[in-house]
Structure 1
Amino acid sequence: MPIFDPYFVTIAVIAVLIVGLSKAGLLGSLGMVGVPLLSLIMPARDAAGVMLPVLLAMDAIAVYAYRKEVDWRVLRMMLPGAAVGTIVGWVLWAFVSDAAVLLFVGVITLLFILDALLPIRKKLEGLPPSKPWGIFWGSFAGFTSFISHTGGPPFQIYVLPQRLPPAIYAGTSAVFFAIVNTSKLIPYFFLGQLNVHNLQLSAMFIPVGIVGVFAGIFLVRRISMKLFYRIAYWLVFLLALKLVWDGFRGVFLGL
């Protein structure tokens, strides 16, 4: 599809803006729709390659903006697992389909939302984070992030129940994914995802992503915690339904 095709440009701008708002912590894990949306206008593997430099540019801004608002305890628990998940994703890159990953992430995310609705979840919220679960969900986030930049739901499954203040949540998320995305540069290069054409597209989309990040930073500091988490949970739920449907169609119907 031509780069300046109106449909191409519209889908790309919407996708990158959503990811930018998510990077600032405003839309929860809705930013993971970036690759699925771009997959409407280019192959999914190329979409992942195009998005990586854009994500890194947005990560840099988000990390700087929230550099003093980070829960390092959470990161120490999740990052070792994320490293393992990234390596596994690299090894399995040729064997795991995008549709299978989307289906798996969607099902796990739906279970997370159902769990959040149960009374026991209310008793667990606010408790100190568990290191074993941090490693587990960190590895899951690293793996799905490598395959299709869909590490948001696993990260949220572990972090959202801790009810961090919105700015702290945003800062912790920004640092976590900045480190994870940086670790993907070398594997993506050797897999051919960072070719000249993809990098040209990335350069076009980076300014759009930066606008989205700044807009999200402005809004996230002005939204109430109750409204913030209500939006986050609903968006994750709706996104999970979409992921399950798209994954099911790809795995079982071949669509």
Structure 2
Amino acid sequence: MPTFTGPEWLLLALAAFAVGAAKSGMPALGPITAAIFASVLPAKASTGAVLGLLLVGDLIAVRMYHAHADWRILRRLLPSVLVGILLGVVVLWAANDVVVRRIIGGTLLVLVALSVILMLRRRADAAAGREARPLPRALSLVFGPLGGFTTMIANAAGPVMSLYFVASRLPVPAILGTAAWFFLIVNTMKLPFSVGLGLVTPESLLLNLLLVPALMLGAFGGRMAARRISQESFERVVLVLTFASGVYLLW
């Protein structure tokens, strides 16, 4: 177990809280976790340390929203997601910590751009008084591999898949249920690769165990806060923080 300072423990607890909140109804918080862990731990080790927390959060999310999943979409997505995961495995095996840190930073910036696109499309559709437009079919074909790659490299596929689910015109309960099952399945698929790469270790699991109380607090707090906070204002704040985190990790 690495020795952390008081502020570092506080940051890790905040990241665990963000995992719980992201899984229980505030998905915009997802990328913050990757940025914090990559700032405190070596970049490659951070991906394995986050994975254990994500699996706990996935179980909570499935318990909350399991009945609303759209399995047709899940069956269509998962084969292409595996392609992205395998590409991420190759990158993690071949790259050093500096390269992985910069890839995580670049990935976060790409996710910010995708999230901004989603916000602008929603605003334009609302102003025109029309339903949300589906994404171009050619663009939809990249979401599976992109989601698999971003989740393997940075555990930060939330914005990518949220964009896909919203563009698929799923109702909100179906988005929550489909996302819950999607990430539980995908993160379970990632586990053997992460163990084989030496990213999930007894030390990382012990760290996860110590941070689970903060995750549980985030799960219940996030579910209550999601009902009270303006989603658009919240997303703007998170986008700014994620952009700053991406620039910091990139440079």
Query: In which range does the TM-score fall when normalised by the shorter chain?
Result: 0.7 to 0.9
CA deviations over 1:125-158 (Å, ceiling 9, x no partner): 5356776544411211110110111112221232
Distance 1:125 1:116 in 2: 14
Question: What does residue 33 of structure 2 align with?
Answer: 34
- Give aligned-pair identity as a percent: 28
1:202 to 208, 212, 216: 208
Question: What does residue 192 of structure 1 align with?
Answer: 198
Question: What does residue 69 of structure 2 align with?
Answer: 70
Q: Which amino acid aligns with 1:55?
A: L
Number of corresponding residues:
243
Distance 1:18 1:120 in 2: 26
Q: Is residue 2:144 matched to residue 1:138?
A: yes
Q: TM-score, normalised by structure 1?
A: 0.81
Contact persistence 1:59–1:178 (CA under 8 A): yes
- CA pair 76-40 structure 1, distance change in 2 beyond 3 A: same
Task: Tell me whether 12-21 or 238-247 shows the greater mean CA deviation.
Answer: 238-247
Q: TM-score, normalised by structure 2?
A: 0.82
Q: Which runs of 5+ in 1 are unaligned?
A: 250-255
Contact persistence 1:82–1:135 (CA under 8 A): no
Question: What does residue 165 of structure 2 align with?
Answer: 159
Distance 1:81 1:232 in 2: 31
1:240 CA displacement: 4.7
1:104 CA displacement: 4.0
1:193 CA displacement: 1.1
- CA pair 137-14 structure 1, distance change in 2 beyond 3 A: same
Alignment RMSD = 2.9
CA deviations over 1:43-80 (Å, ceiling 9, x no partner): 12222211111111111111011011223343233322
Question: What does residue 100 of structure 1 align with?
Answer: 103
Distance 2:171 2:228 in 1: 11
Matches within 5 A, 1:54-69: 54-69=53-68
Task: Tell me whether 92-101 or 203-212 shows the greater mean CA deviation.
Answer: 92-101
Q: Which runs of 5+ in 2 are unaligned?
A: none
1:211 CA displacement: 2.3
Question: What does residue 183 of structure 2 align with?
Answer: 177
Question: What does residue 52 of structure 2 align with?
Answer: 53
